[in-house]
Amino acid sequence: MDFNSGNGGGGGNELHNNQFYQCEENKPLLGEMSEGNNNTKLGAGPCKRSLHHCGGGGGGMRYKLLHEGDIQVCVVKHPRTFLSKLLTSKFLRRWEPHHLTLTDNSLTSATPTGYMETSLSYSSIEDLQLLSWDNAPKYCVQLSFPGGTVLLQAANSYLRDQWFHSLQWKKKIYKYRKVLNNPSRWDVVLKEIRALVDMALTSPLQDESIHQAPLHIISTLLAENSNLSTQDHENIIVAIAPLLENNHPPPDLCEFFCKHCRERPRSMVVIEVFTPVVQRILKHNMDFGKCPRLRLFTQEYILALNELNAGMEVVKKFVHSMHGPTGQCPHPRVLPNLVAVCLAAIYSCYEEFINSRDNSPSLKEIRNGCQQQNDRKPPMPLRLLRPDPSLPQPTPPTPSIPISSPTPCLPLSPPPSVVNSSEILVELERNNSANTRQKEGPSGGDSEPNLIDCLLVSPAVNTLSIQLPAQADRVLGCFALILKMLSDYDDWRPALASLLQPIPFPKEELKYVIQRFAEDPRQEVTNCMCMPVHVHSCLLSVRSGKDGWFQLYSPGGVACDDDGELFASMVHILMGSCYKTKKFLLSLAENKLGPCMLLALRGNQTMVEILCLMLEYNIIDNKDTQLQIISTLESTQVGLRMYEQLCDRQRELKALQRKGGPTRLTLPSKSTDADLARLLSSGSFGNLENLSLAFTNVTSACAEQLIKLPSLKQLNLWSTQFGDAGLRLLSEHLACLQVLNLCETPVTDAGLLALSSMKSLCSLNMNSTKLTADTYEDLKAKLPNLKDVDVRYTEAW
């Protein structure tokens, strides 16, 4: 059995690489692929297939690499010509037990006495083989060195073979490390690299270090020889490509790959070799914080794709290849990894600018330094200023990307002047309430600092002029467009909304992403953690005191550059989907009443509707504020029309709520929402206490009519299509309800949890609903008067 074929000069590897080059000449670039067949997958051509023939190491037994272990040792010192005779002699010398360690350079005993008094260097081992002579000791490995032989006897054949292959690996890797640390001729070095790669791929050892050790050796070689020619670089990358198919490149090798992407973005090596490597990183990486150079390499690879003829079309095909052709991406790590790469690239553009200034610390140093010193001035909120049209404008500068967009100021104030469009003047002014909000946000930690936060807490200047280089526009545009692509995938959108919540980066692509979140038709979806996710909720604040996109893009918000257009769109979508609630209107009245009135004054129909609902639901208690809202509504035609309709409804509502009419009412089977609305509008139902809609066709839409019944105490919705949205509305308006029958309705935990605010409930039927045990326990804890409960045929039963 010959285990030394891996050192045979790499003849087989030359054939392998010749095949690779032949394939490479016929492989189309990604830019050309974008003009051809759309079904072509990146990195899946004939070149990639040619790399697989040596990747399995063949069949047979696999072994774990040994680093240490117990074994019997015998040393025989003799002339080599008498070896055979001594090995067959029955007077073989005694055996010593030793605990041997296989270091990088030698074989060492934990008890350096007897035969192993001194370490046995791998360089001194002339030959390594299994004993196969007749009458030889069983399960032995023979190590020949000048003047003698070391015999290692294992307990069984498997352990013997494990020692043999581990020693052989350590000896060979020691030799390659020594040879490649002192290169002379690069044609010889390339041949040695190919032999090293082939040895790693064909080794019967199964261990992570079997592939990582050669990669570390080669990365060290490249780091110490930075003056290599481009052709030498590409030859080395092609040679190590088979090792990268199932392994992440080490940090030094990542730096080398980044340099190659920057200097030769159109190289075939970037397309053929780096594509599967980056795909593997995005699919299997668990934490870029532990290996940030992998993230940087992925960024440079994407920018290299963007340099091809087809530009972003190639990047789009790459993103699609990471998602896959189906409606559900099979790789849960791809999305968070892509988002991490995009955000790091976006923030790095600004960090490079800040660090390039004289005596300017990094973003993290700004953040940490301001937190550690108590005598610093309080943080100052950021306000971006609109350019003064009265000032002379300079010639158009090189493109740059502002950190945020100009915003209108409320109340009205004369806009200060700023510099030309390539620079953004950031005015920092003190505001106690804003300071309080900033202090409530997260601080410190090892997480990557937010650019806006860092500028807010920086006490060094009162104004800061930011001018980014022209290259920043291309970088920011590329990665912002990737975020736009990610938002177009339905299965990625909920998780993407959570990952980006909120990023104050006012590129048009990101505004498109936010619009996609708002327009998502799903009320609730399940993420990869099997947890319910509300896509629209990601538009709102992350927590109290921390603004979300809803606040950032409102008039006067730090990212608003469209006079509140996106803000109005978000409000319209939220109100039309699942946020048409008293609580949401109350939050708007408390925090965004000014922007709502401003947009209503400009004729925005959504905001006019919001103000009318605030009056209809008695959200506003202050009489002066009510009069101001009425004046705002009467100042536009659409506002006046909707206010008159509100007054008509209010008159009808007052007539409906007058005392009188029946106390009990049962609708006929198969009645609809329209039938109920027609019936309630035909007379007075101010005394109605018991309403049965059982076995009718009513839905959650009828809740708009039910909340107008002030005396209602008992409501029967058995076997209707009344759902969660209706329950949420009832819970806000019918505080006196005592008996509720939801048997065989499609309600779920999301709606049932809202009932916890109805403290008067004493009887609740949830038979045959989607109630869970946890929600049931929560309702029992929050409803003290609840006595009669039916949970049969539910999970809580």
CB atoms within 10 A of CB 703: 22
Run of H or E residues at 383: strand 382-384
Look up residue 162 and give its two tokens: 């494990």
Query: pLDDT above 90 covers what percent of the chain?
Result: 24
Whether the pLDDT of residue 510 is over 80: the answer is: no
Cross-strand partners of 140: 153
Q: pTM for the full model?
A: 0.62
Alpha-carbon gap, residue 716 to 695, rounded angstroms: 9
Select from 467, 205, 230 the least CA-distant residue to 354: 467
Sign of CA dihedral 241, 247, 250, 254: positive
Q: Which tokens is 671 given? A: 């009645």
Q: Which domain holds residue 723?
A: 660-790
Asked whether the predicted pLDDT for residue 13 surpasses 50, the reply is no
Q: Considering the domain boundaries, does residue 117 fall inside one?
A: yes
- Give the relative orientation of helices 593-601 and 565-577 as an angle to the nearest 10 degrees: 110
pLDDT digits (tens, 9 = 90+) for 729-762: 898 888 889 999 999 999 999 889 889 889 899 9
Regarding predicted confidence, which is higher, 712 or 409? 712
pLDDT at 523 over 60: no
Q: In this structure, what CATH number is given to the domain that contains residue 153?
A: 2.30.29.30
- The candidate with the shortest Cα–Cα distance to 285, out of 274, 270, 300, 295, is 295
Cα separation of the two ends of the chain: 69
Q: Which is nearest to 10 in space by CA: 213, 207, 187? A: 187
Query: Tokens 């990094």 map to which residue?
Result: 362
The tens digit of pLDDT for each residue in 115-130 reads 899 999 999 999 898 8
* Residue at a domain's end among 119, 138, 168: 168
Q: Residues 682-717: pLDDT tens digits? A: 667 778 889 999 999 999 999 988 988 888 999 999
Specify the amino acid at residue 681: S
Burial class (CB in 10 A: 0-12, 13-18, 19+), 462: exposed
pLDDT given at position 87: 55
Which CA distances in Å does 510 have to 173, 337, 476, 689? Answer: 50, 18, 11, 51
Q: Report pLDDT for 356.
A: 54
pLDDT at residue 295 is higher than 60: yes
Report residue 86's pLDDT band, with 50, 70 and 90 as the boundaries: low
Please report the pLDDT score of residue 373 as a whole number: 39
Is 668 part of any domain?
Answer: yes
For position 765, what pLDDT does the model report? 94
Res. 534 pLDDT band, cuts 50 70 90: low
Q: What angle do CA 422, 428, 432 make, to 5 degrees?
A: 150
| 450-501 per-position pLDDT tens digit | 444 443 333 333 334 455 667 777 888 888 889 989 999 988 988 888 888 7
The pLDDT value given to residue 372: 41
pLDDT at res. 93: 64
Does position 559 have pLDDT exceeding 80, yes or no?
A: no
Task: Please say whether the dihedral angle defined by the alpha carbons of residues 458, 460, 462 and 465, taken in this order, is positive or negative.
Answer: negative
> Of 144, 168, 192, which marks where a domain is finished?
168
Is it true that the peptide bond before 28 is cis, omega within 30 degrees of 0? Answer: no
Continuous H helices in 635-713: 637-656, 673-680, 703-706
CA distances from 604 to 407, 456, 590, 642, 665 (A): 18, 32, 20, 12, 41
> Which pLDDT score, from 0 to 100, does residue 565 have?
82
CB atoms near residue 793 (< 10 Å): 14
Closest residue by Cα to residue 13 from 25, 5, 24:
5
Distance CA 254, CA 274 (A): 11
Structure tokens at 113: 């006495």
- Name the pLDDT band for 44 (thresholds 50, 70, 90): very low
Residue 438, Cβ neighbours under 10 Å: how many?
A: 20
Rg (CA), the chain: 37
How far is Cα 102 from Cα 70, in angstroms, rounded to an integer? 12
Domain count, the chain: 2
Contact assessment for residue 536 and residue 574, using Cβ atoms and an 8 Å cutoff: yes
Instruction: State the DSSP H helix or E strand holding residue 790, giving kind and residue range, or none if neither.
Output: strand 788-790
Model pLDDT, residue 425: 37
Examine residue 349 and state whether it is found in any structural domain, yes or no: no
From start to end of 412-554, where are the E strands? 424-428, 463-466, 525-526, 532-533
| pLDDT for position 78 | 65
Residue range 510-520: average pLDDT? 79
Up-side HSE of residue 314: CA atoms within 13 Å toward CB? Answer: 24
Are the C-beta atoms of 562 and 508 separated by less than 8 Å?
no
Residue 718: φ, ψ to 5°: -55, 130
Is the per-residue pLDDT at 397 higher than 80? Answer: no
Residue 220 belongs to some domain of the structure: no
Question: Tell me, what CATH number does 697's domain have?
Answer: 3.80.10.10
Within a domain: 237:
no
| Position 360 pLDDT exceeds 60 | no
Give a yes or no: residue 640 inside a domain. no
Rounded alpha-carbon distances, angstroms, from residue 65 to 69, 102, 791: 11, 10, 59
**What are the backbone angles phi and psi of residue 324, rounded to the nearest 5°?**
100, 165
Cα 265 to Cα 647: distance, rounded to the nearest angstrom = 67
* Cα gap 508→288, rounded to integer Å: 27
- Among 142, 168, 194, the domain-final residue is 168
**Cβ count within 10 A of residue 264:** 16
Q: Is 300's pLDDT higher than 90?
A: yes
Q: For residue 545, what pLDDT band results from cuts at 50, 70 and 90? A: low
* 755 assigned to some structural domain: yes
556 inside domain = no
pLDDT at 349: 74
How many of the other CB atoms lie within 10 Å of CB of 138? 11
- pLDDT surpasses 60 at 82: no
Give the pLDDT confidence score for residue 621 in this predicted structure. 85
What is d(CA 721, CA 355) in angstroms, rounded to the nearest whole number? Answer: 60
- What pLDDT digit, counting tens, does each position of 87-110 carry? 545 445 688 999 999 999 999 999
- The confidence score (pLDDT) of residue 770 equals 92
What are the CA-CA distances from residue 118 to residues 36, 71, 141, 617 (Å)? 66, 16, 19, 90
The answer to whether 495 touches 329, Cβ cutoff 8 Å, is: no
Residue 658's pLDDT is 65
Q: Whole-number mean pLDDT of the chain?
A: 74
Q: Provide the β-strand partners of residue 463.
A: 427
Burial of 587 (0-12, 13-18, 19+ CB in 10 A): middle
- Burial per residue of 6-32, b for 16 or more beta-carbon CB atoms within 10 angstroms, e otherwise: beeebebbeebbebbeebbeebebbbe
Look up residue 16 and give its amino acid: H
The residue whose two tokens read 């968070």 is 336
Counting every residue written for the chain, the total comes to 797
Q: What is the pLDDT of residue 15?
A: 36
Show the beta-strand stretches assigned E in 49-185: 68-77, 96-102, 106-109, 120-121, 127-130, 140-145, 148-153
d(CA 300, CA 265): 9
